[in-house]
Structure 1
Amino acid sequence: MPALVSTVRHWVPPPVTKEALEWADLTCIDIAKAKTPEGRAEQVRLARDATHKQGFFYVINHGLDQAIVDRAVDIGALAFDDVSDNEKLHYQARIKETGEYLGYKLPQYWTIANGVKDKIEHYNIPRDASRREHPTVLRPFLPEVQRIIEFTHREVLNEVQKLLSLGLELPENTLPDLHPFDETNHSFWRFMLYNPRTREEEEKTNNIWMKGHADHMSFTAIWSQPVTALQIKDWDGKWRYVRHVENALVVNVGDTTEYLSGGYYKSAIHRVVKPPADQEGYRRLGLIYFNYMSDHTPIAPLLESPVLQREGITKSISGDPPTQETWRKKRTAAYGVTQLQRAEDGSEYEIVNGVRVTHYN
């Protein structure tokens, strides 16, 4: 572990909610059990079935101490509370122009509904944090941030990808090899802060802080945190809350993996809503890692999978499949700023690279 360079002001989250909420019943993937021959077969089945049905699951017993996660949250708070507005502007991401989130996404960038803009701020760090310059206050802590980035990629997501490769009856390194931790990979880390909104803003948006959507990358790993606001559109079409589990990660499958699996693994539709009454008024600070394939890799079904050969291809991108880089940049540039069209079922959609992308309000 990198030496701790200094103490950091501790971020104090609220107590977990005691409200009676409808919770999603999510599978727990146990990394420690997956290390044994007996447990591995069970974890393959659990990962395969959870991803086929919901696209959402917890990862537990991964081996990283909760204190390191808490420290990362404390460091993340510096990016928002200890960086001046001028310095944030200096490091602001040019999202629409470049198709990249790296740097700050400042509040009031995305349109939520009825003229209301978001109150979400995030700071995004590339997989290799040394690839770019960062705000002064964060620089002493970058070795610690780099460690949790690498851990999340290698020890969590690559391990999950092995299980899901086996679930497709492919060699276990099939998906990890498509998601290497090297210079061809543009996965990134995000410190993400949701700020409370006014009563009028909540009424105009029906308490939606971020519209329902599926992530466009392969996998998203969220370190579980206490403010309850994340919901998934469950297998039966109902929205349910994701419960906080101490020192767990909440992992969801994105569109890239759904296309790789020919629709067998489902990309998870999720949204963020106003927290319950006993957590209102608190800021919600999260740690998220977005995982991509190598940029040059085409997003095409893994036709060598016996599972796909039996089940058939139910979802793919028509025509020549885009590379991960093309898909990544076009989806990133369009999100939250494109004029959406209304569908008959009340959802909204846009067309990105010839693909219909749905948003749920």
Structure 2
Amino acid sequence: MPSVALPVIRHYIAAPPTREKLDYADLAILDFSKIGTPEGHAELSVQLRDAMTTNGFFYIVNHGLTQAENDRMFDITDVALCGVPEEEKRNYLANISDGSNEGYKLRAYLHIDGGVRDQFEYYNINEDISCKQHPKAVRPLLPEVAEFAKFNHYRILHPLMRLFALGLELPEDTFVNMHNFEAVGESYVRMMKYYPRSADDEVNAKQVWLKGHTDIGTVTILWSQPVTSLQVLMPDGQWRYVRHIDNALVVNSGDAMEFLSGGFYKPTVHRVVQPPQDQRGYNRLSVIFFAMTDDNVKLVPRAESPVLQNLKHGVQRRWADDADAPTMEAWRKGVTSTYGLVELKKKEDGTEENIVNGIAVKYYS
């Protein structure tokens, strides 16, 4: 991260951690200070594989950024969301209906439930910051965003992709080679803020701020923040909160990793709900890195994996034939252009779904 002559911006004051007793998920913690040794690499590979075949969420600590550098990214995020006039934001809207998430999504764009519209906004910046133009207040901060994106890509994503490959007994760079920084794709830094809702909206939407879903890409890297709203659907069918850990990363895999691993690494269902009582007056500011493969990667299982070949149930596919598998571009555009914008079909098990590229995309209340 840049360390000299940084632009002076307002410091964002985060909410204090909740003091309420909540039912928290028991998630693995990967210590990335071990990533540089063969022994540590092997240990982390086993730890990640266990996490991904149980609940699919885990933390990363000792990743290489200081708390001050972490705080700076939240300050920048606050500028992008609160330091840009609404009329200027409209000049940089994401073309969501055409399947692109780069740019702003303003509040009340998506339907959540019970006639309730969303109360969150975000600004997505492609890891290649030159892909789009940016609002005036953000432009002086772009060098820092670019460094942050590179950090996530090379220092977090690529090591994780090597660990995922080792878990399948594949060559270490199998998945790394699908995530090229210079390639055409839509991995991006998301700057996001949830705002408190009215009492009526909370009732009508059953306290759900974002329905349970899986992410589109390979992995999602969330920089932990204190407003406790994120829940994960655990193997026992219960929703449990994700605990905040200072300067930690909260990581989960997505649809693309499920497709590439033949169902071995299942994407984790998660949602955002109303915070506990002692945090309900606060906004929820988030910094997230969404990782996807290069657009031209066809999301077919790596069937050459010895692990997949030895599974009793065999390789699992969400389509009839590998020829029907989508590319990363087709999958991200199909899901992005329909999420929260089309009527969902209700299923007997209480879930809802939409069909994208012939594949059922499920949502959970």
TM range (shorter): over 0.9
Match of 2:342? 338
CA distance in 1, matches of 2:190, 2:101: 9
- Residue 34 of structure 1, CA deviation: 2.4
- Residue 359 of structure 1, CA deviation: 0.3
Match of 1:62? 63
| Contact 1:208-1:273 within 8 A present in 2 as well | yes
CA distance in 2, matches of 1:358, 1:187: 22
CA distance in 1, matches of 2:104, 2:202: 24
Whether 2:127 is the aligned partner of 1:138: answer: no
TM alignment of 1:1-361, pairs within 5 A: 1-2=1-2, 3-96=4-97, 98-311=98-311, 312-319=314-321, 320-361=324-365
Give the letter for the 1:316 counterpart. R
| Contact 1:349-1:356 within 8 A present in 2 as well | yes
CA distance in 2, matches of 1:317, 1:253: 20
Q: Structure 2: which 5+ runs fail to align?
A: none
Give the letter for the 1:199 counterpart. A
| Percent identity of paired positions between Structure 1 and Structure 2 | 47
CA distance in 2, matches of 1:56, 1:328: 21
CA distance in 1, matches of 2:5, 2:15: 26
Give the letter for the 2:70 counterpart. V
- Residue 184 of structure 1, CA deviation: 2.5
CA distance in 2, matches of 1:323, 1:160: 21
- Residue 341 of structure 1, CA deviation: 0.6
Give the letter for the 1:293 counterpart. T
Give the letter for the 1:313 counterpart. V
CA distance in 1, matches of 2:328, 2:38: 33
4+ long deviations beyond 6 Å: none
CA distance in 2, matches of 1:239, 1:323: 31
Deviations 1:124-178 (CA, angstroms, capped at 9, x unpaired): 1011112211000000000001111110111011111111110100111111111
Count of residue pairs the alignment pairs up? 360
CA distance in 2, matches of 1:175, 1:39: 20
Give the letter for the 2:223 counterpart. W
CA distance in 2, matches of 1:59, 1:153: 14
- Residue 54 of structure 1, CA deviation: 1.5
- Residue 314 of structure 1, CA deviation: 2.4
Give the TM-score taking structure 2 as reference length: 0.97
CA distance in 1, matches of 2:128, 2:270: 28
- Residue 327 of structure 1, CA deviation: 0.7
CA distance in 2, matches of 1:224, 1:100: 25
Q: Which moved more, 1:47-56 or 1:205-214?
A: 47-56
Q: Structure 1: which 5+ runs fail to align?
A: none
Name the SS for the 1:271 alignment partner. strand
| Contact 2:81-2:192 within 8 A present in 1 as well | no
Give the TM-score taking structure 1 as reference length: 0.98
- Residue 51 of structure 1, CA deviation: 0.8
Deviations 1:215-247 (CA, angstroms, capped at 9, x unpaired): 111111100011100000012111000000111
Name the SS for the 1:226 alignment partner. coil
Deviations 1:304-331 (CA, angstroms, capped at 9, x unpaired): 1001101121233333211111111111
CA distance in 2, matches of 1:64, 1:13: 18
RMSD between superposed Cα atoms in Å: 1.0
CA distance in 1, matches of 2:343, 2:316: 28
CA distance in 2, matches of 1:42, 1:127: 30
